[in-house]
Amino acid sequence: MTGTIINGKELAQELRQNMKGEVLQLKERGVTPHLSVILIGDNPASKSYVNGKKKASDEVGISSEVIELPAETTEEKLLHLIDDLNKNHAVHGILVQLPMPEHIREQQVIEAIDPSKDVDGFHPINIGRMMTGKDTLLPCTPFGIITMLKSKNIDIAGKHAVVIGRSNIVGKPVGQLLLNENATVTYCHSKTADLKEHTKKADILIVAVGKAHAVNEDFIKDGAVVIDVGINRVDGSLTGDVDFDSAKKKAAYITPVPRGVGPMTIAMLLKNTIKAAEGLSDN
């Protein structure tokens, strides 16, 4: 058996095509969705991500700006800028690119963003709404993963989903979204005893550990769905947390790296920006 590839790049392209129509409808009502991205410092990976977000925004007709700040920018100055953007009615989405310089408290910044403009879906109010199954702006990568599963009509309800990784950005929220879709969810992490014992029972396996090829076919049940969230650079090329060639022998469906979860994260950011502009998120 060789797993069917869930191509996130193609799906994201399809979604962006649909979003063009949604943006046009908003513009006809006199609303141009606008995304403000704040980039602090000159981390090359962050710059590359931000450029990707700007390019995708332009493609669907979302107005966007990148506000570049020097690495030594104070937390006070950043919070003042966020406050200005919160008050600006022409701005619908605000995103501060992570990671931030060490002298800035990440949580402080996340909580300063108006929840109705929090297109990353990280604000505690949005996380709380997600936990209780309410309509809200969802964290982009987990939202993208659920969208990928649904695009292949993969049943989630009643399935055993195992999440390796417990970050606030991916691991915890994707487990909650799977639970909201009526999966039975197991979280695994660095302190989990006998990891394979858990992963081999998974109908859906989400791998988000940030370690190249941490998972191979020995961890996977025949016919499982494997979603690889990892992005690692090995010998100059990108690879995931899953050993793709080995895992695809067992998996029914599998995501590649690149062209997997990454493009979907940006697509969901655009979706959240449109949703915020529509005012559907009633925070």
pLDDT tens digits, one per residue of 177-207: 999 999 999 999 999 999 999 999 999 999 9
Distance CA 137, CA 129 (A): 9
Q: Residue 222 pLDDT more than 80?
A: yes
Q: Is 127 annotated as a binding residue?
A: no
Q: How confident is the model at residue 280 (pLDDT cuts 50, 70, 90)?
A: low
Q: Residue 46 pLDDT more than 50?
A: yes
- What does pLDDT average to over the chain? 96
Q: How confident is the model at residue 113 (pLDDT cuts 50, 70, 90)?
A: very high
Give yes or no for a contact between 66 and 37, defined as CB atoms under 8 angstroms apart: yes
Q: Is 166 annotated as a binding residue?
A: yes
Q: Residue 168 pLDDT more than 60?
A: yes
Average pLDDT estimate for 60-82 = 98
Q: Residue 283 pLDDT more than 70?
A: no
* pTM, rounded to two decimals: 0.95
- Residue 1 has a pLDDT of 62
Q: Residue 117 pLDDT more than 50?
A: yes
Give yes or no for a contact between 29 and 279, defined as CB atoms under 8 angstroms apart: no
- Residue 282 has a pLDDT of 39
Strands 253-254 and 4-5: parallel
CB neighbours of residue 69 within 10 Å: 16
Q: Could you read off the pLDDT of 9-26 as tens digits, one per residue?
A: 999 999 999 999 999 999
Average pLDDT estimate for 44-68 = 95
Residue range(s) in the chain whose domain bears CATH number 3.40.50.720: 140-262
Q: Is 8 annotated as a binding residue?
A: no
Whole-number percent of the chain with pLDDT over 70: 98
Residue range(s) in the chain whose domain bears CATH number 3.40.50.10860: 30-114
Q: Which 8-state DSSP code applies to residue 132?
A: T
Strands 232-234 and 237-239: antiparallel
Q: Is 61 annotated as a binding residue?
A: no
Question: Residue 197 class from Cβ within 10 Å (0-12 exposed, 13-18 middle, 19+ buried)?
Answer: exposed
- CATH pick for 140-262 out of 3.30.750.24, 3.40.50.720, 2.60.40.10, 1.10.620.20: 3.40.50.720
- Residue 281 has a pLDDT of 39
Active site positions, annotated: 53, 97, 120
- 95 by DSSP, 3-state: which? strand
Q: Could you read off the pLDDT of 234-253 as tens digits, one per residue?
A: 988 999 999 999 999 999 99
Q: Residue 8 pLDDT more than 70?
A: yes
CATH class of the 30-114 domain in this structure: alpha beta
- Residue 17 has a pLDDT of 97
